[in-house]
Structure 1
Amino acid sequence: MQKLLSKLRRCINDYKLIDENDKIAVGLSGGKDSLTLLQLLKAYQRFSPEKFDIIAITLDTGNGADFKPLVDMCNNLDIEYHIIKTDINEIVFNIRKEKNPCSLCAKMRRGALNDTAKQLGCTKVALGHNKNDAIETLLMSMFYEGRVSCFLPKTYLSRIDITVIRPMLYINEREINSLARKRNFPIVKNPCPADGNTKRQFMKELTYNLEKDFPNLEDRLLGCLTNTKQLQIWEKPSNNEETGDRN
């Protein structure tokens, strides 16, 4: 726990993720990542130089999940908890009948979470993305979209005046799995039809396999996202440069 707290604090400090008097909504899906984030932020709150409040928000997408264990956990942590009912599952799978549902589902969940957080007076939304999530996103953008891109540790959403933060980006998925087992976190099974059968799952397995041949691959790939001074990409000259026009 202390090792993970140290990494959480370093990420918060490096990217100035928390300000004085913030009210932070943790997106609590019931998975190991969001449960770990909630536990770590609650522990960090006790010694943080900035005073901040925490609430937890779970989106009930209509897939029949049982959130009672999350209610009990939030009660034990003395954290305000909200379960928001949505029709996301109905829209994605029955009305739209999406062949590739993850993108639309994620977009709708982000919108519902951010809007709910704003309505509850929050200044920030904290998401449980970890180091491996960042690496997988980077590789997916390169392999499937032909671009170098990844989500940011901190993103301000001007439309609704709220900031999204990701404090666990220095924490490895294996560390999260270990903590979840040791603390017996009440993980809520995801009954989503697409669970485990996605491009992201493929990329996760690929990176694990590559690391067998390339030790410390994850740290090197994460370094690519922070090494902005040595970013060298091809840039085509402008028309002025091509014609020799110096005006």
Structure 2
Amino acid sequence: MEHVVASPARSATDLPEKESRFSNTFLRLKKHLERKVGEAIGDYGMIADGDVVMVCISGGKDSFTLLSILLALRERAPVDFRIVAMNLDQKQPGFPDEILPAYFESIGVEYKIVTENTYAIVKDKIPEGKTTCSLCSRLRRGIIYRTAKELGATKIALGHHRDDMIETLFLNMFFGGKIKSMPPKLVSDDGENVVIRPLAYCAEKDIERFARGMEYPIIPCNLCGSQENAQRKHIKTMLRDWDTRFPGRIVSIATALKNVVPSHLADSSLFDFRNVSSGTKVDQGDIVFDTPELPVEQPDASAIPIGIWRS
């Protein structure tokens, strides 16, 4: 069952209507997140003029934040694009299906609710105690792609943030034997859908603070939220410990994702090691004995002007 609602247009500055109730610290955080999203959109060409951006809303802090920031940036973006919020109601027991429609209507955003009982499928196929994430994500992905086609969406925006990308990197390294993460922008296997992650430069701790201040109607995931032994949660704990004990380390790892040097790794499909000889020149040369550069420092959000992505 599906339905589409085009809510009355409202300015993103009305989200919330009385922004004056927020502290200056919160407003600086909002501007910081807007700048980071604007940078990511510009760096990876995520949104172009005339795009229809389907923003997938799960009911969690990340997707709520993504929608708010995109609505705010659309007001002053150098391109014109349409936003449609989309939620997949997976028929989890006790899911409050009235919350998201009420929220979408309160902020005046066009939205579509898709109802599919994937919960029953997952519970039937996955034994009790086993991780449900893999099957659940495959089912969701197919429904999301189908819905994007029905809406005429040219971009599908997901709420994955910087920490999600780093966690995925370590999961693939530790358990998959690959240096692979979540890309900021990708094309689906069928070549028909472009997926973007505008929060790619945003730290989860900043999103958590923003979501608390915005008082979003957060809806917990009862399907997978109790799986405390999932490997991703172990990785998250490790990274948060590092962030506490070694400030700057997470920022440095995120920066490394944008600074790959194939000649200094070991993948012969990316660099022709076999034909390296005394006359071969490689990027960054022989730096094997050089002192590593210091981690990149996180800039002070209060000193950063609001940015709009580069055209």
TM beyond 0.5: yes
Give the corresponding residue for 1:117.
148
Inter-partner Cα distance in structure 1 for 2:50 and 2:111: 19
Read off the aligned partner of 2:231 and give its amino acid letter: K
Q: Which has the higher contact order (CA 8 A, sep 6+)?
A: 2
Equivalences, count: 242
Q: Deviations over 1:22-73 (max 9, x none)?
A: 0010110000000000101111110111100001111111213113222122
Which deviates more from structure 2 when the two are superposed, residues 211-220 or residues 117-126? 211-220
1:183–1:231 distance in 2 versus 1, CA, 3 Å: farther
Inter-partner Cα distance in structure 1 for 2:268 and 2:181: 23
Inter-partner Cα distance in structure 1 for 2:260 and 2:234: 28
Q: % of aligned pairs identical?
A: 33
Higher helix proportion (structure 1 or 2): 1
Structure-to-structure mapping, 1:1-247, within 5 angstroms: 1-64=30-93, 65-97=95-127, 99-157=130-188, 159=190, 161-197=192-228, 198-229=230-261, 232-235=264-267
Q: Deviations over 1:169-223 (max 9, x none)?
A: 1111111111111111111122115545221111111111122332211111112
Could you tell me whether the CA contact under 8 Å between 2:61 and 2:218 is conserved in 1? yes
SS of the aligned residue for 1:226 comes to: coil
Larger Rg: 2
Listed as ranges, the gaps of 5+ residues in structure 1 are: 243-247
State TM-score, norm by structure 2. 0.73
Which deviates more from structure 2 when the two are superposed, residues 162-171 or residues 102-111? 102-111
How large is the Cα RMSD of the aligned pairs? 2.3
Which deviates more from structure 2 when the two are superposed, residues 102-111 or residues 25-34? 102-111
Read off the aligned partner of 2:142 and give its amino acid letter: G
1:231–1:101 distance in 2 versus 1, CA, 3 Å: farther
Moved over 3 A (4+): 95-98, 193-196
